[in-house]
A and B are shown apart, each in its own frame.
Chain A
Amino acid sequence: MDFGPFLLLALMEGLVTAAVLALTASGLSLVFGIMRVVNVAHGAFFMLGAVLAWFVSQWVPGPPALSFAVALVLCPLIVGAIAAAADTAVLKRLNYEPEATIVATIGLLYILEQAALSFFGPDARPVPAPLNFRIQLPWFGYSGYKLAVVAAAALVLLAVWLILRHTRAGLIMRATQIDRDTARAFGINVDRVYAGVFAMGAGLAAIAAVLIVPIQQAHYLMGGDPLLLSFIVVIIGGLGSLRGTLVAALVIGLSDGVISTFFAPTLAKIVATLAVALILVLRPQGLFGKRAA
């Protein structure tokens, strides 16, 4: 294959990575931005979404598209409910102290992984794709499902943006993000907002996992890479900045696709890590983050 088509293929692969990464990282960014909680268990919520999608694919009869549609609705709701329960049972009791919540979410990560190992087992398991068609380009054919993943991720991100910017719930979240004490002085139940935001963040990770699991397979340790890449993305984009998260996800995803295709996936991770180091030295608040007062 010539260089041009090869580059196009790499960019398309990168776009798929970027789309899923943007979804996962936006959940992490939302939780940090509003709650100031560094959620180390975020990758475990991603894994849980994928594992639950496998269970749904086994239990729901009929064509793969049906079980996938059920998984796409059900898994984020279940994962979100687990996250909300964890918030109320653990994080709230720690008064959302930054150091304590990091330790707590590490604990949560291990609990979720071990639970998945116990109920799901150690094997990687495939989930059938809901769509099986190829888009034939002049140089190569490409999975139509992968492009559907990009479109679905874009739609979900648009919905998140619309919720944050144009709904009463979004206004409450933004006010709480700016000043939780003053928000309380205007009747906002901050505990409920936090539980909702933690659930929403985990739900976004679960949606990303359900979308990607037909390409990757479900495994109880699959949350590590998404967690690492999500942290890379939110650090580069600026912790708490949704716009920064999207831009950084695009940059990291596309560079991952290109470097992995032309060189090696490991080199792509090295470049991403170096980019984080560079950002931390030159612009610690990230590309779109605000400098702490």
Chain B
Amino acid sequence: MLRLEGIEAGYGAVQVLRGLSLSVAAGEVLCLMGRNGAGKSTTLKTIIGQLRASAGTIELDGARLETLPAHEVPRQGVGYVPQGRRLFGDLTVAENIEIGLMTRKRDARTRDRVLELFPRLRERMGQVSRTLSGGEQQMLAIARALCLEPKVLLLDEPTEGLQPSMIALIRDTVVALKKTGVATILVEQRVDAALSVADRIAFMTGGSVAETVPAAGLRADAPQFAAYVGV
């Protein structure tokens, strides 16, 4: 479904991704793990078009993404939940949802379907989003991305700073999306959270994937975690 080949990208003169290649299939959850600076978030930013790839290709179902303007990428079916949520903080929950919906001109059924996943948001529709709790903000960030009805969902550390019940809710959501055929690339620092939901884990170091292994059968004390994540 989504395939990255030989991607090079960075911030100005600082190159972060060096020949990165990876792929994720429909209904698959690929987890990116690695130390700080390994290039996990940069990978997602490059896919969504926030950073330009100076080399390499990004293909979604055969369509090239790296040549598109950034605002065209979500229209191809890429949903993005950034690190730190980056909600439109001064807008209400309903307005954040509407921003997610307007891109593909989806009808109210999409919104209802998304809100069924997060019923608590329905009670907060008129609330300014920056006044939500951390967990509710994360729900909204995911809901907003799902309003795009994405083929591929990019999640950047969605469990960061959340309580266990909220982490479980996010895991259940990812599992539910997986059943609908949505491909997910998940950046995660927590080994238990990664193992509970991922099909494969790609360990990154120095801006490229060093090793990709199936998550099934992988234990939390596997040597890769110590080598690439430092836990």
Chain A positions near chain B (C-beta within 8 angstroms): 168, 171-172, 174-175, 178-179, 181-190
The answer, among A174, A184, A187, A190, for a CB contact under 8 Å with B91, is: A174
CA distance A131 to B74 in the complex (A): 52
A-facing residues in B28-74 (Cβ within 8 Å): 48-50, 69-74
Would B102 and A168 count as touching, CB distance under 8 A? yes
Would B90 and A186 count as touching, CB distance under 8 A? no
Would A186 and B144 count as touching, CB distance under 8 A? yes
A10 CB to closest chain B CB (Å) equals 38
A124 CB to closest chain B CB (Å) equals 44
Would B88 and A189 count as touching, CB distance under 8 A? no
Would A178 and B82 count as touching, CB distance under 8 A? no
Residues of A within 8 A of B202 (CB): none
B55 CB to closest chain A CB (Å) equals 22
On chain B, which size bracket covers the interface? 20 to 34
Q: Which residue of B lies closest to A177 (CB)?
A: B90
Interface string of B141-156 (1 = CB under 8 A from A): 0001000100000000
Number of A-B contacts (CB under 8 A): 62
| 23 residue pairs from A and B, CB less than 8 Å apart | A171-B98, A171-B99, A174-B90, A174-B91, A174-B95, A178-B88, A178-B89, A178-B91, A179-B86, A181-B50, A181-B86, A184-B71, A185-B48, A185-B49, A185-B50, A185-B82, A186-B74, A186-B148, A187-B72, A188-B71, A188-B99, A188-B103, A190-B71
Would B89 and A185 count as touching, CB distance under 8 A? no
Residues of B within 8 A of A175 (CB): 88, 91, 95, 99
Would B74 and A185 count as touching, CB distance under 8 A? yes
Residues of B within 8 A of A188 (CB): 71, 99, 103
Known: A174-B91, A178-B91, A181-B50. A186 touches B99 (CB 8 A): yes
Would B104 and A187 count as touching, CB distance under 8 A? yes
CA distance A183 to B87 in the complex (A): 10
Would B91 and A171 count as touching, CB distance under 8 A? yes
A175 CB to closest chain B CB (Å) equals 5
B110 CB to closest chain A CB (Å) equals 14
B135 interface contact, C-beta 8 A: no
Residues of A within 8 A of B88 (CB): 174-175, 178-179, 182-183
- For the complex of A and B, 4 pairs with smallest distance between CB atoms: A187-B103, A184-B70, A187-B74, A185-B80
CA distance A178 to B95 in the complex (A): 13
The answer, among B69, B70, B95, for a CB contact under 8 Å with A185, is: B70
CA distance A186 to B82 in the complex (A): 12
A-facing residues in B77-124 (Cβ within 8 Å): 80, 82, 86, 88-91, 95, 98-100, 102-104
CA distance A188 to B80 in the complex (A): 14
B146 CB to closest chain A CB (Å) equals 12
Find the residue from A178, A186, A189, A190 having the highest chain B CB count within 10 A: A186
A91 CB to closest chain B CB (Å) equals 17
Would B50 and A184 count as touching, CB distance under 8 A? yes
CA distance A60 to B148 in the complex (A): 50
Find the residue from A172, A181, A190 having the highest chain B CB count within 10 A: A181
Residues of B within 8 A of A189 (CB): 69, 71
Known: A171-B95, A182-B82. A187 touches B89 (CB 8 A): no
CA distance A73 to B22 in the complex (A): 55
Would A187 and B75 count as touching, CB distance under 8 A? yes
A187 CB to closest chain B CB (Å) equals 3
A-facing residues in B123-165 (Cβ within 8 Å): 144, 148
A256 CB to closest chain B CB (Å) equals 32
A96 CB to closest chain B CB (Å) equals 14
Residues of B within 8 A of A185 (CB): 48-50, 70, 73-74, 80, 82
CA distance A174 to B102 in the complex (A): 14
